[in-house]
Amino acid sequence: EPEVTQTPSHQVTQMGQEVILRCVPISNHLYFYWYRQILGQKVEFLVSFYNNEISEKSEIFDDQFSVERPDGSNFTLKIRSTKLEDSAMYFCASSEGGGAEAFFGQGTRLTVV
Amino acid sequence: ELKVEQNPLFLSMQEGKNYTIYCNYSTTSDRLYWYRQDPGKSLESLFVLLSNGAVKQEGRLMASLDTKARLSTLHITAAVHDLSATYFCGAPGGSRLTFGEGTQLTVNP
């Protein structure tokens, strides 16, 4: 069964460092997303991506964040200068259409120290 | 801005009992999704409700959607321990899904 895969599963980084989280969405899906979940809290939307550009972003997705689809399979989230409050589980997801059923990857737990 | 509210946020129930989780959302939508999350894990799709009056059942769980009332319910029948998890409803708005805060369900023997 097709699935969304994310790497790494866990990343520890020092405050101020750049991190790149990687995702391989389901191959025939057109929309890609990043969500985050601070421990014990709700799942928050960061950004959606369609047709090689950002479709929608939340207020959390500020200038420190960027997304890219560098080739035909990978979808990345970059945080330029990490802060302590960026520590969270980051989920990549993909769907056939915008607002359609989203399939989530296993997540990357980011710890900023 | 789309708001999604779930209640209760915490639910502790005994095995064999029935209960309902409620999900209200603030804007018109003809679709609603339910997901399950086990501790430290990802979100697993449970139900896709695509129209007013939609009802889906899987095992001891049944989900329904009333788009006029902007309400979805997740009903648990004769709960078992394996159902212990956090359940999220998600409503589409634009190209995103907005999730409720989640209902942490604990089923006790």
- In the DSSP assignment, the letter for residue A28 is T
Domain containing residue B51 = 4-108
User: How many percent of chain B have pLDDT more than 90?
Assistant: 85
Q: Is A100 on the interface with B (CB under 8 A)?
A: yes
Q: How confident is the model at residue A2 (pLDDT cuts 50, 70, 90)?
A: confident
Whether residue A100 and residue B41 make contact (CB cut-off 8 A), yes or no, is no
∠ CA B88-A86-B3 to the nearest 5 degrees?
35
Residues 6+ apart with CB under 8 A from B62: B55, B56, B74, B75, B77
Q: Is A103 on the interface with B (CB under 8 A)?
A: yes
Mean model confidence pLDDT for chain A: 95
**CATH number, domain with residue B81:** 2.60.40.10
pLDDT digits (tens, 9 = 90+) for A32-84: 999 999 998 899 999 999 999 999 999 999 999 999 998 878 999 999 999 99
**Ramachandran class of A16: left when φ > 0, alpha when ψ lies in -120 to 50, beta otherwise:** left
Whether residue B98 and residue A45 make contact (CB cut-off 8 A), yes or no, is yes
**Domains in chain A: ranges and CATH:** 5-112 (2.60.40.10)
Question: Which amino acid type is present at position A82?
Answer: T
Whether residue A99 and residue B88 make contact (CB cut-off 8 A), yes or no, is no
Tell me how many domains chain B contains: 1
Whether residue B100 and residue A42 make contact (CB cut-off 8 A), yes or no, is yes
Mean model confidence pLDDT for chain B: 95
Q: How confident is the model at residue B56 (pLDDT cuts 50, 70, 90)?
A: very high
